[in-house]
Amino acid sequence: MPTTIAIPRPGADEYFEYYDRYIQQVPGDDALPALASQLDAWVKKMRALSETQALHRYAPGKWSVKEVLGHMCDGERVFSYRALRCARADRTPMPGFEENEWVPASKSDRRPIGEILDELTTIRTGTVMLFHSLDPEMLALRGIANDQTISARALAWIIAGHTLHHQKGLRENYGVGG
């Protein structure tokens, strides 16, 4: 039985301003419903893409659909790890990650799109379970990432917003994901 009933919207002092662009995209007053539901129907639509469609780049130098999905996997893993560290009262500073270096290193274009989507949904299951296990005191705990203070609660909202950000980008720039 989950101990967390809700993950309320974080205060502006719980994250650095850059992440406001993600947090503001998440509707409502609880991040958990978005985390629990935002992938299901979307992943089904994405599974309809052919391998050729999944390699599409909307402009030279832009990521392919597969690379966006791989980045979503990497980002969610990093943000979830940061939330775990915060929730365990670990104040050891956590470094940032350079997405523009990680994406080519992931070699996502070599992988079947279905495998990447399976990975994304598996990671999300773990993310939801992690946040279900946190009580309000744990959610309020803060850590240091990228030399900035951040709370476990804010990271739940960042994960949900990061997903929405990339779903929107895939719809608008690539015409996929409906």
Mean pLDDT to the nearest integer, 7-33: 97
- The pLDDT value recorded for residue 3 is 56
pLDDT tops 50 at residue 121: yes
* Separation in Å, CA 159 to CA 49, 53, 61, 91, 153: 24, 26, 25, 20, 10
Span 55-70, average pLDDT: 97
pLDDT at 155: 98
Question: Looking at residue 1, what is its pLDDT?
Answer: 43
Task: Record the pTM.
Answer: 0.96
- Looking at residue 72, its pLDDT comes to 98
Q: With contact defined as beta carbons under 8 Å apart, do 63 and 115 qualify?
A: no
Across all residues in the chain, what is the average pLDDT?
96
Q: Quick one: CA dihedral 54, 56, 58, 63, positive or negative?
A: positive
Q: Name the pLDDT band for 178 (thresholds 50, 70, 90).
A: confident
Pick the CATH number of 12-50+62-174 from 3.40.50.620, 1.20.120.450, 1.10.8.60, 2.60.40.10: 1.20.120.450
pLDDT at 10 over 90: yes
